[in-house]
Structure 1
Amino acid sequence: MKPSLHPEEEKRLQELHRYGILDTEREKDFDELVEIAADICEVPVSVVNFIDAGRQWFKAEVGLGVRSTPIETSLCGHVILQGDFVEIPDTLQDERMADNPLCTSDPGFRFYAGAVLKGANGLPLGTLCVLDHKPRTLTDRQRKVLQVLSKHVMSELNLRLSLEEERVLRREVDHRVKNSLASIGAMLSMKARRTSNETLKMELDDASTRIRSLSSLHAELHELEAGGRVDLESLFDRVQTDLRYLIPDKATLSIEVQSIEASPQLANALLLIVNEFVSNSVKHGLKDGEGNIQVLIEGDDHSWAIVCRDDGAATALDAERAMAKAGLGTRVIHSLAKTLSADAVWTATGNGMKLSVSSKNTEIH
């Protein structure tokens, strides 16, 4: 007998698809659950399955050897229409399964027990079930284990769903922040064009440029959080273009990267260190808006180093203040270095400031 559709089939399928689990690769977390279920219940077959439109799809299975079967022969398609737990001692004595080729074949599935997997809205999505080729019953302990394992399946799926929803929300927030920064920059730029006060015009233009640069850097940081590996050379090529808006026309900025890839965490920290050093140099180091800022980055996750320097007027006393975290920018850099299990070292001799941050046993000049 073909299983009937659930009374709220459309809503049930929407909930199933919301979890995004269908047609994903096999995973150890789920494979281990069906292995435990089969072992505890002493059966040859155990599966985690979901009832999709027209098919029964298996996220994990032991003893079955397939990833999907037609809905016409689905035993679980009947079970999800019942309660939270269903046990059928002999399938050939059940009118719904007595003519099912999966049960009547040799060897067929003569025993079935399954705990229903329910979505956040309470609708059934599939089951964690065990099957045997001979009629039998489970012990109370075995039934309890199946129910507990089914809760683990849904806990894992609900956790993944929550994390995905959080990522979507964060992307939306980041998008709005970027748009807000761009709007503020455009508004300042418009006010600068309209004012006849040259001093105010310069201040507004400067603020507008900094806001636009901040917006661009925010976008870079957001991309880093997407995961994977980061091409540092490509990243800092883009960043260098944005940072040039922060420095005076008579100053120069050079960023050299001798590295291939890094983790998002390291790339993120290096990006913020460079941004803070450049901002500090422009504000405190360069003489009359003139001078050079240089950055050198080498290495990878295991062995890396970054040196930032300018040829401004910083003295040994300024370096001591930086080492003592006297300013906000230096505190930020020291904090970033700490997250990387590294130390930030500032030095100066009256001809500019030098910042060195590196992993253990790594040094560049």
Structure 2
Amino acid sequence: MKPCLHPQEEERLRELRRYGILDTEREKVFDELVEIASDICEAPVSVVNFIDAGRQWFKAEVGLGVRSTPIETSLCGHVILQGDFVEIPDTLQDERMADNPLCTSEPGFRFYAGAVLKGANGLPLGTLCVLDHKPRRLTDRQRRILTVLSKHVMSELNLRLALEQERVLRREVDHRVKNSLASIGAMLSMKARRTSNETLKMELDDAGTRIRSLSSLHAELHELESGDCVDLRSLFERVQADLRSLIPDDAKLSIYVEAIKATPQLANAMLLIVNEFVSNSVKHGFQDGEGSITVVVEGDAQSWTIVCQDDGTATALDAEQAMSKSGLGTRVIHSLANSLNADALWTASGTGMELRVTPKH
């Protein structure tokens, strides 16, 4: 007898697909559950299965050797219509299964016991079941354990669903933050173009560039999966245009970054250090609006180096003042270096300033 459709079949199938489990690869966590079920229940066959449209699909199985079967011969297709736990001591004595070729053939499935897997809305999705080739009954202990194992299946699926929903929400929040930062940066740049106060213009441009750089970092992070690292080369490629807009038209900016994978914290600190150096060079190193700034980031995630240089008018005294953190920008850079457990060394000889940031050893 072919199983009837569930009274809420469309809603049931929507709930099943919401879990995103169909047609996924075998996984140890589910394989171990069916192995335990088979061992505890002393049954040669055990499966975690889901009843899809037109088929019965197996996420994990012991003793079966296939990943799906037609719905026409599905024993579990009948069971999900019945209750939370179903035990059939002899399938040939059950009118729903007495003509099922899986039961009538040799060696057929003469015994069935399954705990129904239910979605968050209470609708049945499939079962964790055991089968045997001879009529029999489970003990009370075996029934309890099979029920507990079925709850572990759904706990794992519900956890995965919650994590996926959290990931989607986080990416949406990141996307909105990134867009907001970009809008604020654009607004500051627009105000800078409209003002005739050169000091105010410089401050607005500086603030706008910092905001857009943070937006670029958010854009890079937005594309990452949880636990991934930032590609520093990709990040600095995003921010170069914004940094160039901070310097005078006759000045040059060159940035060379090795393909380093960095944590978001390291990437953010590096980005801010470079921002501060470029800003300080423009403010204090270029007297006539001409000059060049070079930034080199090399090494790896554990042993990296940032070298920032300009060819401005900085002297040894300027370097001493920078080392003593006399200005806001240099204090920010030293604070960022400390947060990375790194040293910031300033040197100058009248032909430009150099900042070298390296991790402490």
TM exceeding 0.5: yes
Aligned to 2:89: 89
Q: What secondary structure is seen at the aligned counterpart in 2 of 1:208?
A: helix
1:149-187 C-alpha deviation (Å, 9 max, x unpaired): 111111111111111111111111111112222322333
Q: Distance in 1 between matches of 2:149 and 2:199?
A: 70
* 2:229–2:264 contact (8 Å) kept in structure 1: no
Q: Distance in 1 between matches of 2:138 and 2:181?
A: 63
Q: Distance in 1 between matches of 2:155 and 2:116?
A: 13
Aligned to 1:340: none
1:242 deviates by: 4.0
Q: Distance in 1 between matches of 2:200 and 2:325?
A: 32
Aligned to 1:363: none
1:331 aligns with 2:320: no
1:304 aligns with 2:308: no
1:239 deviates by: 3.9
CA separation of 1:41 and 1:201: change in aligned 2, threshold 3 A: same
Q: Distance in 1 between matches of 2:196 and 2:72?
A: 79
1:317-341 C-alpha deviation (Å, 9 max, x unpaired): 643659xxx9455434433x3xxxx
- How large is the RMSD of aligned CA atoms in angstroms? 2.9
CA separation of 1:200 and 1:321: change in aligned 2, threshold 3 A: closer
Aligned to 2:29: 29
**What 5-or-longer segments of structure 1 have no aligned partner?**
338-342, 361-365
Q: Distance in 2 between matches of 1:99 and 1:349?
A: 89
1:93-131 C-alpha deviation (Å, 9 max, x unpaired): 111111111111101111111111111111111111111
CA separation of 1:327 and 1:205: change in aligned 2, threshold 3 A: closer
Q: 1:348 aligns with which of 346, 349, 353?
A: 346
Worse-superposed segment, 62-71 or 205-214: 205-214
Scaled by the length of structure 2, the TM-score of the pair is 0.84
Aligned to 1:279: 275
CA separation of 1:181 and 1:235: change in aligned 2, threshold 3 A: closer
Superposed, which structure 2 residues align to 1:112-191 within 5 Å? 112-191=112-191
Worse-superposed segment, 174-183 or 44-53: 174-183
Q: Distance in 2 between matches of 1:359 and 1:80?
A: 62
1:198 deviates by: 5.2
Identical-residue share of aligned pairs (%): 70
CA separation of 1:183 and 1:169: change in aligned 2, threshold 3 A: same
Worse-superposed segment, 80-89 or 326-335: 326-335
**What 5-or-longer segments of structure 2 have no aligned partner?**
287-291
Superposed structure 1 runs of 4+ greater than 6 Å apart: none
Q: Distance in 1 between matches of 2:69 and 2:333?
A: 61
* 1:37–1:149 contact (8 Å) kept in structure 2: yes
Scaled by the length of structure 1, the TM-score of the pair is 0.83
CA separation of 1:280 and 1:185: change in aligned 2, threshold 3 A: closer
CA separation of 1:354 and 1:184: change in aligned 2, threshold 3 A: closer
CA separation of 1:235 and 1:226: change in aligned 2, threshold 3 A: farther
Q: Kindly provide the amino acid, as one letter, of the partner of residue 319 in structure 1.
A: M
1:295 aligns with 2:293: no
Which has the greater radius of gyration?
Answer: 2
